[in-house]
A = this chain, B = another copy of it.
Amino acid sequence: MFFSAGDTASSPPARAVRADDVVLTGDRPTGVLHLGHYAGSLANRVALQGRCTQTLLIADLQALTDASGHAAHVAAHVEEVALDYLAAGIDPAVTTIAVQSRLPALAELTVLYLNLVTVARLERNPTVKAEVELRGFARDIPAGFLCYPVSQAADITGFLATLVPVGEDQLPMIEQTNEIVRRVNRLAGAPDDAPVLTECRALLSSTPRLPGVDGRKASKSLGNAIPLSASADDIRRLVHAMYTDPGHVRASDPGRVEGNVVFAYLEAFDPDAAAVEELEARYRRGGLGDATVKRRLVDVLEQLVAPMRARRAAFANDRGYVRDILREGTARGDEVTRQVLRSVRRAFALDE
Contacts and interface: CB of A to CB of B under 8 A. Distances in A.
Interface of A: 60-61, 64-65, 68-69, 71-72, 74-75, 101-102, 104-105, 107-108, 110-112, 114-120, 122, 139-147, 150-151, 187, 345, 347-352
Contacts of A119: 139, 141-143, 146
A142 B120 contact: no
A64 B348 contact: yes
A269 to B, nearest CB: 35
B111 A140 contact: no
Contacts of A145: 115
Contacts of A350: 60, 71, 75, 101
A102 B352 contact: yes
A117 B140 CA distance: 9
Given A71-B349, A147-B143, A352-B102, A61 B111 contact: yes
B68 A187 contact: yes
Given A68-B187, A107-B108, A114 B101 contact: no
Nearest to A186: B69
A345 B345 CA distance: 25
Given A107-B108, A120-B140, A114 B349 contact: no
